[in-house]
Amino acid sequence: MFKKKKLATLLLLLLTNIILPLNVFAYSDYVIAGGQNIGIELDSNGVIIVGTYEVNKESPAKNANLKTGDKIIKINETPVSSIKEMINAIDDTRNDTVTISYLRANKEYQTELTLIQDNDNVYKTGLYVKDSISGVGTLTFIDPNSKIYGALGHEIIEKTTGQKLEIKDGKIYSSTVTSINPSIEGNPGEKNAIYNSNDIFGNITENSMSGIFGTYKTTIPQNKLYKVAQPSEIKPGEASILTVTKGEEIKEYKINILKINKDTKSTKNMLFEVTDNELLKISGGIVQGMSGSPIIQGDNIIGAVTHVVVDDCTKGYGIFITNMLEEAEN
């Protein structure tokens, strides 16, 4: 539920003759709850084909057996990880045919692509490509000891291909909610927001099924510390979410947890309904951009919002906070 627009503490532990690997991180018993709106920019580890087009009634991509979703990793044996590098590698060729190495379903293939001149005598590849994604979401937690953060509660996918974005790097930024398009039955709404690319909160080192993770690089906000709840401590009933609905102010809104799914591999561990009249009036329930909003029960942080129930947008799903923290350890 990520709206489109634009980890590790080094711990060296020596015990007699046992050397544990670096990048080991054990999450704290208490973490800082998020709720801030964040801008997100991710750079892909490769150039993704998101579409093709014809040039003078010919399709260079089809002739080369290239398809939407393929990831270009080399041009004429030169590694490329951005559109700029791809263009430079093609410009360096001395003929109208280039050798392209690409990944499809995690297998590497190679093909020859013949460039075709358009009516302006410009050579074209017939490929629409992308090397980055940007958007907005919600910060879930910051570990006060390691400064590792987690957000979204689910992976970011490339919308055109439907595939998880394998990232090279990325950043999160401060963000301001300008308005909300409310949800209605069958049509989830969305937060409209802008972000400040000069105000970097942190880097992004992982895009996983449980969210995005990285290190918080700026001053840690003085938000409340909450105890990390284990799944066995979470109960059906009253709870709340922390999120921004206007500007940058984090507000707490009431929800009711209806069902709990103890499957730790799921991102839909909790089914809940929004009971807060103010939030229902503002947003109609859960909207895109609320992904990552912390779920609080008592003095515990128990999870994060991940999905909206499309047929009834007053309901949503959440992931256990422990699932996110355990992923952050890796």
CATH, range 3-44+132-329: 2.40.10.120
Distance separating alpha carbons of residues 60 and 278, to the nearest angstrom: 54
Whether residue 272 contacts residue 199, with contact meaning beta carbons closer than 8 Å, is answered with: no
Non-local CB neighbours of 206 within 8 Å, separated by 6+ positions: 7, 167, 212, 213, 214, 327, 328, 330
pLDDT at 264: 76
Number of Cβ atoms within 10 Å of the Cβ of 261: 13
Average pLDDT score over residue span 266-273: 94
Per residue in 17-60, pLDDT (tens digit) is 333 334 445 788 999 999 999 999 999 888 999 999 999 999 99
Integer CA distances (angstroms), 176 to 93, 244, 248, 249, 260, in order? 45, 9, 5, 9, 32
The residue annotated as part of the active site, out of 28, 81, 154, 293, is 154
- 267: pLDDT strictly greater than 80: yes
Give residue 121's pLDDT: 85
The reply to whether 263 belongs to the active site is: no
Set 81, 276, 293, 307: catalytic member: 276
The confidence score (pLDDT) of residue 120 equals 87
Residue 16 pLDDT exceeds 90: no
Q: What is the pLDDT of residue 185?
A: 87
Mean pLDDT confidence for 60-88 = 94
The letter for the amino acid at 276 is D
**Is 154 one of the catalytic residues?**
yes
- Placement of tokens 């996110």 in the chain: 324
- Going from N- to C-terminal start, the domains of the chain cover 3-44+132-329, 54-125
pTM (predicted TM-score): 0.85
pLDDT over 80 (residue 11): no
- Higher per-residue confidence, 91 vs 301: 301
Per residue in 276-285, pLDDT (tens digit) is 999 999 999 9
What's the CATH number for 54-125? 2.30.42.10
Would you call 197 a catalytic residue per the annotation?
no
- pLDDT at residue 1 is higher than 60: no
C-alpha distance across the termini of the chain, in Å: 23
CB 204 within 8 A of CB 40: yes
**C-alpha closest to that of 323 among 244, 237, 262, 265:** 265
Q: Is the pLDDT of residue 181 over 80?
A: yes
Residue 34 has phi, psi (to 5 degrees) of -90, -125
Q: Check if the beta carbon of residue 147 is closer than 8 Å to that of residue 213.
A: no
Higher-confidence position of 254 and 264: 254
300 residue type, one letter: N
Q: Which of 85, 83, 76 is nearest to 47 (CA)?
A: 83
